[in-house]
Amino acid sequence: METQRQKKIAGVIQEDIVDILQRAAIDGGLKGTLISVSKVSVTTDLSIAKVYISIFPNKDAKELMEGIKSNQPLIKHELSQRTKNQLRRVPELLFFLDDSLDYIENIEKSLKRVENPIENRDLLDKRKKM
């Protein structure tokens, strides 16, 4: 269960990280790339923030995530400059690729296909009985 403080800090971090990453993408010449922070969760001791990032189009995602992870100290520094009046200490930032949108898209594609696994049970792998 997240405390009110954790939620507030996560919200502050989320807002600023989006701005930092979007600006970095534009400065890096990635104009058509959309980077969004889908979720930030902060540990109870406020020392670690897990930042979940969605990148569109997805073809650049892996490469961009590596860039984001390798620039983590710079991003943390920029974040500390922006939040110095709100946060005493900026938590350690851990970045994760949020691929839930791809997952949802794959499910929708599967359901729209002619071979709908819900209507045609033979398409599903048979479960082995133990």
Domain coordinates in residue numbering, the chain:
4-99
The predicted pLDDT at position 121 comes to 62
Q: Cβ(51)–Cβ(36) under 8 Å?
A: no
Residue 89, both tokens: 């200490």
| Residue 54 three-state SS | strand
> What CATH architecture does domain 4-99 belong to?
2-Layer Sandwich (3.30)
The predicted pLDDT at position 115 comes to 62
Say what the pTM is.
0.75
CA nearest to 15, candidates 98, 107, 82, 113: 82
The predicted pLDDT at position 127 comes to 59
The predicted pLDDT at position 122 comes to 63
Q: Is residue 60 classed exposed, middle or buried when 0-12, 13-18 and 19+ CB atoms within 10 A define those classes?
A: middle
The predicted pLDDT at position 52 comes to 95
* Tens-binned pLDDT, residue by residue, of the chain (130 aa): 789 999 999 999 999 999 999 888 888 777 777 888 999 999 999 999 999 998 887 777 888 888 899 999 999 999 999 998 888 889 999 999 987 777 777 788 777 776 655 666 665 666 565 5
